[in-house]
Amino acid sequence: MPSHNPVFGRGLPNAGQQSAPWGGAPQYGAPQYGAPQYGAPQYGTQDPYAAPSPYAQSPYAPPATRYMTMDDVVQKTGLSFLVTVLSAAVTWVLLPESLAFGLAIPAVLVALVLGLVISFKQIANPVATLSYGALYGIALGAISEAFNAIYPGIVMQALVGTFGVFFGMLVVYKTGAIRVTPKLTRWIVGAMFGVLALMLVNIVASWIGGGDGLGLRSGGTLSIVFSLVVIGVAAFSLLLDFDMADEAIRRGAPAKFAWYIAFGLLITVVWLYLEILRLLSYFQDE
């Protein structure tokens, strides 16, 4: 069965497909690639009196590679979020505001490069994922401190909104209210690229013409509409992350691949939080 998830279309190691489709166990009793059926006597193939090799693996021995489970995804994702939150809290509480902003800019740049490397090379590694979370935590701590100084209480509202959207989309996915189909995947990916392109054009236009460029971040009605669109795209992107986790489990991906899924969820949740924080600030200004 072909995959509609773009991550699996780029050569994800599929440990389970060698034995059966989607990581299922092979059907015993059926010959595999010319292997003899169990129970049939095989004469002349081996010495019945020969001692078994100490290196022979029992058919009941556990596989060398442990397959990923949903518990792996939950644990790795939870640990990644915890490192990000702790890094943000330390930046906010312990560092002076000037030092926090001084560290935030290089942290974002390093995290951006690291994130691109992880994405394109599909690095499933705890060091890479947790380092990305810690770096972005520094930036989130400085940004949250600045917003909360101007709009007291806005950070807690943004956190509640972020995790509300997260768990809401999880319920929508688990109940099957919205199914991740190839067509929906193409729409979401296309919307993501469209939003990112508009953001880049807005930045370039602000550099060239001054002001807010296209007016996407000026705080007016257009800014509110654009933020709502971005939040919607980020929310639907969570469906792709959930589907990637389920599909990796069905395909028998190795347990370490859970770190890559945690990385994807971390990117989406951070994006969602920042956009909700920005949207709430627009309403505070009115």
Return the number of other C-beta atoms located less than 10 Å from residue 286's C-beta: 7
Contact predicate 40/33, CB 8 Å: no
Would you call 210 helix, strand, or coil by DSSP?
Answer: coil
Query: Tell me, what's the pLDDT at 84?
Result: 96
Would you call 216 helix, strand, or coil by DSSP?
Answer: coil
Query: Tell me, what's the pLDDT at 63?
Result: 56
Q: Cβ-count burial of 10 within 10 angstroms (0-12 exposed, 13-18 middle, 19+ buried)? A: exposed
**Residue written as tokens 């009196």?**
49
The 10s digit of each residue's pLDDT in 204-241 is 888 887 777 788 888 888 999 999 999 999 999 999 99
User: Which among 134, 93, 91, 94 is positioned nearest to 115, based on CA atoms?
Assistant: 134
**Residue written as tokens 């990923």?**
68
- Indicate the pTM of the whole model: 0.77
Q: How many CA atoms lie within 13 A of 179 on its CB side?
A: 5
Secondary structure (H, E, C), 115-169: HHHHHHHCCCCHHHHHHHHHHHHHHHHHHHHHHHHHCCCHHHHHHHHHHHHHHHH
Q: How far is CA 133 from CA 25, 112, 139, 243, 283, in A?
A: 36, 11, 10, 22, 29
Query: Tell me, what's the pLDDT at 284?
Result: 84
Contact predicate 17/251, CB 8 Å: yes
Intra-chain end-to-end CA distance of the chain, in Å: 52
> Which residues neighbour 21 within 8 Å (Cβ) at sequence distance 6 or greater?
1
Query: Tell me, what's the pLDDT at 64?
Result: 62
Would you call 28 helix, strand, or coil by DSSP?
Answer: coil
Alpha carbon distance 106, 264 (integer Å): 21
Query: Tell me, what's the pLDDT at 203?
Result: 87
Q: What residues pair up with 222 in beta bridges, in sequence order? A: none
Q: Could you state, in order of their start, the residue ranges of all structural domains in the chain?
A: 70-285
**Sites in the chain below the pLDDT cut of 50:** 1-11, 13-61
